[in-house]
Chain A
Amino acid sequence: MKDVALPPLLVEPGPDGLTVAAIQKRGVPLFHVRLSLPAGAACDPRGKAGLAQFTADLLRRGTQRRDAHGVDAMIEGMGAQLSVDVSLDECALGLTVPAELSAAAVDALLEVALLPSFPEAEVTQTRRRALAALQADLDDPGTVAARAAIAVGYGEDHPYGHPASGFRRDVETFTREDAAAFHADRFRKRGALLSVAGRDDPAQLLRFAQDRLSAQGQAWPRAAAKDLPLPGPAAHHAQMRAIVVHKPDATQAQVRIVSPGISRQDPRWAAAVVANTALGGGFTSVLVDAIRVDRGLSYSVSSRLAMGRHAGLSVFSSFTKNETLRELVDLALEKMRAYRGTGPGPDALAKTRTYLAGLFPFGLEAHESIAENVSDCILDGLGLSHLATYRSRIASVSEDAAREAAFALSPGREGAQIVVVGDAEVARKALAGLCPIEIRPLE
């Protein structure tokens, strides 16, 4: 398949480190603005896990120009909902509005991002809400498993080794000063990217964005904060281990099998994506075929490369009834170990390359997804060619390269960490003899 032409777009890096991207999207008369800032969960100070998310949640709870209700009215009155996404590396804010409201949308986004007032009462209430949400999360076995897998996979001291929502013990300590200091430190121009997507041609859109920045962006601190050390690779474990989080009365066990993966900047990226997709992506992968289609052990099975800008994990995910927990774990490990040796054969390789290439343009359709993709590949240092040559790079992955990636990145290799969320007694019996087991309370 031929490479896909990107929509007309311009990217302009500024002298102060802020990049502006303008993307022309024809069709439905909508406008999208997205601001990515170097303020992700990896920036949480030690002992303050969750501060990036907490600060982001507070942005809309009052600015220097209006209170929280005023912010809600400003944004939602346009028919928009503010998206706030705190990932490992960044905090991204987004708004999509009817095209005629584009100026108001950019102004609103910049006001929320740059001029938060952090009212004391809102800080107190947001902290209570965050704590209540953390407690409510314990009722969702999948969320509990995901949180545990991050900490176990990266290691708790790694900058990526905690969930963005943080830990109860840390969130309890958050103050107004914490949020204000984090904002002053991380919501800066250097490393930030403003992207806009709309019907106008990219030159017009770029001028428009820069005009709005001139009008609204004076408050943006120019001083560059101290850079944080770059995160290293995920934790390496010499021995397989199972961590069981006890959830009473569960009739089904959530399972994650985690090993170190790669970053989005890794030169093996294309081979790794192909090898992982053949293992556990799509509906005809090795793992889905063995676990769901052939044995009916689970409804959902996948292997995934969870990639940050500087490190990543390889994660197997599934769930099954208590009675078949051991069967599922044994089968997953058996298939993943065998695949390490073989990688995808020629047929599976060809199928996977075409599968990925065929579906790639779906990520360029919606305003939000093209803006996010453009933003990510620029901030990751990969450039627009990462998108423009996607199909040809995937098509060029050789059998040898895929096999090497399969060998190096299987979630089930030596030292894999198994996370189970379910009834502890059931899991202890099921996993007996497989590896050391550690039982943890639900918290």
Chain B
Amino acid sequence: MALDPRDFPVEEHHLANGLSIRLLPDRGLPIATLYSFFRVGSRNERPGITGISHLFEHMMFNGSRKYGPKEFDRKLEAAGGSSNAYTSNDLTVYYEDFASEALSLVLDLEADRMASLTIDDTSLSREREVVKEERRFRTDNDLDGMMDEALSALSFLAHPYRWPVVGWMSDLNRITRADCEQYFRTYYAPNNCTVVLAGDFEPARALREIERLYGAIPSGAPLPEVPTGEPPQKGERRAQVQFPAQTKAILAGFRAPAGSHADSLALDLIETALSSGEGARLKRALVYEQELCVDAHAYFGWRIDPGLFDVALKLNPGVELARAEAALWAELARLVAEPLPEADLRRAKNLVKAQLLRGLTTANGRAHTIGQMELMLGSWRAMLDLADRYEAVAATDVQRVAAATFAPHRRNIVTLVPGEQPELDPADLEKVVGDAPGLKGGGP
């Protein structure tokens, strides 16, 4: 079921300054979407400035040489468009959905901020507070966010995937304007960007506009190397989150290959077999048959470097953590012990392929998919035969990849235990220190 390239007449262009351009016209509705993918995310940060990629995503809306503060969205909305952005471990991605007649303006807005972003202390102070609110919302007051942050810190010792994309609160308070200016010079050059335009436009005219607006922006220096030397995991790791909550929860993470690795397709199918739809194995066993969980969910997201395969369980009231954990390990062990039955594999393949198709029904979806394929797999063309490559994954492949991934010594487990956060009593600390040999003064 390969996609027909004639249905996706993507034009590929490169400017002399390194900007990559992908154009996919579709004259059906008078709308278009422009994506700008920058190959920078929390992976490119260092301790002390964690969260700067995401903070910078916010700063990109605060004015540039031609379009001053607040002008980016004012101009865009007044022309019939809207904007948004997201930051991941690996990428920072901006997009605009707009009425097709606003194309020239949208390109001008994007090119102007790439060429001449304004970074001042006032906007940095304000945006820092907004991001801290986002952190309080998504992490400090959100159980899933708390557990996810704990899992990353537990699973990675050396790799930058260790810290959260939103950054540690103390680092958000510390990031300076100079840090931001350095970040912009380093990572927001055209040679680190892919723009993807999909929708109602005339390709030759759009390309001329892009060349005119982006062509004079200078290339940046080669990007700094990312320290990716994560040591092998030598045993199970555990962490606990204690917080007032209604129910217990488990988040387990297993070290998994990079998105570009051939085995990532088998992991996509395992994710789907375990938790997509009500008939998925994990849901059927843990939610319906054993009634241990309100919800059971698996997630494998493609990353540039080896990442994680996650499984999250939200337990039913009264269910003990150990019982739910044992049931989870048993389900994963089944994947290792016996090949996925043909019906389960067929179901997973059909679900994954249908999801791929559904993602291509909108201009935004097409542009995003093309960009993702470029950044993660090296070429948009990877989407054309992706369905065939899923089809080629055999039950034995699934079993082999499951065995390599779900080994007990590779798992990292975060448990949520409902309860007040313990407060440190200095007397208790004194007692602990006093009892520990060699920790209190006095010498031998």
Interface, chain A (partner B; CB < 8 A): 1, 4, 26-30, 60, 68-69, 72-73, 75-81, 96-98, 125, 128-129, 132-133, 135-136, 138-141, 247-252, 282-284, 289, 292-300, 319-321, 350-352, 354-355, 357-359, 361-362, 364-367
Contact = CB atoms under 8 A, between A and B. Distances in A.
Given A81-B351, A248-B244, 18 more contacts: A27-B28, A29-B357, A72-B279, A79-B352, A79-B355, A128-B316, A133-B294, A136-B246, A140-B142, A249-B243, A251-B141, A282-B77, A282-B82, A295-B126, A299-B130, A359-B82, A361-B31, A362-B364
Interface stretch (B16-24, B41-49, B94-102): B94-102
Contacts of A350: 78
Interface string B265-308: 00000000000111110001001100100110000000000000
Q: Indicate the member of B141, B247, B360, B421 with the most A CB atoms within 10 Å.
A: B141
A139 B361 contact: no
B212 interface: no
Nearest to B365: A366
B102 A28 contact: no
B81 interface: yes
Q: Indicate the member of A77, A133, A139 with the most B CB atoms within 10 Å.
A: A139
Interface of B: 7, 26, 28-31, 61, 70, 73-74, 77-83, 97-99, 101-102, 125-134, 136-137, 140-143, 243-247, 276-280, 284, 287-288, 291, 294-295, 314, 316-317, 343, 346-347, 350-355, 357-358, 360-364, 420-421
A319 B137 contact: yes
Q: Which 5 residue pairs spanning A and B have beta carbons closest together?
A: A358-B80, A72-B279, A79-B350, A296-B129, A358-B99
B284 A69 contact: yes
8 contacts: A72-B277, A81-B276, A136-B314, A139-B245, A284-B73, A320-B133, A352-B77, A358-B99
Contacts of A362: 31, 97, 362-364
Contacts of B78: 350-351, 354-355
B354 A96 contact: yes
A249 B141 CA distance: 9
A79 B277 CA distance: 10
B421 A249 contact: yes
Given A79-B351, A358-B81, A136 B140 contact: no
B140 A77 contact: no
Given A284-B73, A357-B99, A1 B80 contact: yes
Contacts of B61: 283
B197 to A, nearest CB: 16
B357 A355 contact: no
A366 B279 contact: no
Q: Indicate the member of A77, A79, A129, A294 with the most B CB atoms within 10 Å.
A: A79
Q: Indicate the member of A97, A136, A354, A359 with the most B CB atoms within 10 Å.
A: A136
B106 to A, nearest CB: 11
Give the dominant DSSP class at A's interface. mixed
Contacts of B134: 299
A80 B354 contact: yes
A249 B279 contact: no
A286 B314 CA distance: 39
Contacts of B79: 354, 358
Contacts of B102: 358
A251 B130 contact: no
B291 A125 contact: yes
B81 A292 contact: no
Contacts of A247: 244
Given A362-B362, A366-B362, A73 B247 contact: no
A359 B80 contact: yes
A412 B75 CA distance: 28
B15 to A, nearest CB: 28
B351 A76 contact: yes
A30 B247 contact: no
B376 to A, nearest CB: 21
Q: Indicate the member of B79, B99, B355 with the most A CB atoms within 10 Å.
A: B99
A31 to B, nearest CB: 11
Contacts of B137: 252, 299-300, 319
B291 A128 contact: yes
Contacts of B77: 282-284, 351-352, 354-355
B70 A284 contact: yes
A365 B141 contact: no
A30 B357 contact: yes
A83 to B, nearest CB: 11
B116 to A, nearest CB: 20
Given A129-B294, A248-B244, A358-B99, A283 B73 contact: yes
